[in-house]
Amino acid sequence: MPDACVQAAAPEGPVRMCVICRQRGPKAQLTRHVIVETGGPGESARKSALAADVRMVMPGRGFYLCRDEACMAKFHKFSGWRKHFHGGSAR
């Protein structure tokens, strides 16, 4: 086969997508956020929030954010994570 059919080089490592701008990039260049429950176990009205997962090992659904200033500003208003939360009072 001729070399003209060579495919583009695949990126090294996993690729993830920013939840704000929808741009794809290497996982190592994006920050991961996960849903965490706030409040104690005895509280009747537990709340949930997004927290940065610096080590990228926390359990749960991860939301990735690129390092663009505009995306970071919009992320504070991001509420798309609520539809993925299956517990607590976020629904």
Mean pLDDT of the chain: 80
**Which segments in the chain show pLDDT lower than 70?**
1-11, 40-46, 84-91
**Which pLDDT tens digit goes with each residue over 20-35?**
999 999 999 999 999 8
Long-range contacts for 43-49 (Cβ within 8 Å, ≥24 apart)?
45/89, 46/88, 46/89, 47/88, 47/89, 47/90, 48/85, 48/87, 48/88, 48/89, 48/90
Prediction pTM value: 0.70
